[in-house]
């Protein structure tokens, strides 16, 4: 490898590593929304600590976990489809 290419390659690898740090697995899916659970449940009129508030927070957790599971399943299904159909883009 010529010495003139080495700095460019090093810069490209460094940039790729820096950009990969911006992505994170298990981010909140868009379908659930990035709203603050506390603010959402309080805006519905539930006092903090009340049974309705606790149920609201649990429901939000269940919705978030279901959305994450759906996203994971879709990603896995897409990967399997691509492995089983290499001739189709």
* Torsional sign, CA 65, 71, 77, 83: negative
Q: How far apart are CA 57 and CA 62, in angstroms?
A: 9
Spans of the chain, pLDDT less than 70: 1-3, 19-34, 89
Percent of the chain with pLDDT over 70: 76
Residue 31's pLDDT is what? 47
Any residues with CB less than 8 A from the CB of 53 and at least 6 apart, and which?
A: 41, 42, 46, 47
The model's pTM is 0.55
């Amino acid at each position: 490898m010529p010495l003139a290419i080495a700095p460019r390659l090093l810069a490209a690898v460094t940039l790729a590593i820096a950009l990969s740090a911006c992505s994170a697995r298990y981010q909140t899916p868009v379908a659930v929304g990035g709203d603050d659970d506390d603010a959402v449940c309080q805006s519905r009129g539930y006092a903090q600590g009340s049974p309705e508030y606790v149920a609201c927070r649990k429901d939000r957790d269940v919705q978030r976990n279901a959305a994450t599971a759906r996203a994971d399943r879709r990603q896995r299904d897409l990967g399997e489809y691509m492995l089983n159909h290499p001739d189709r883009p």
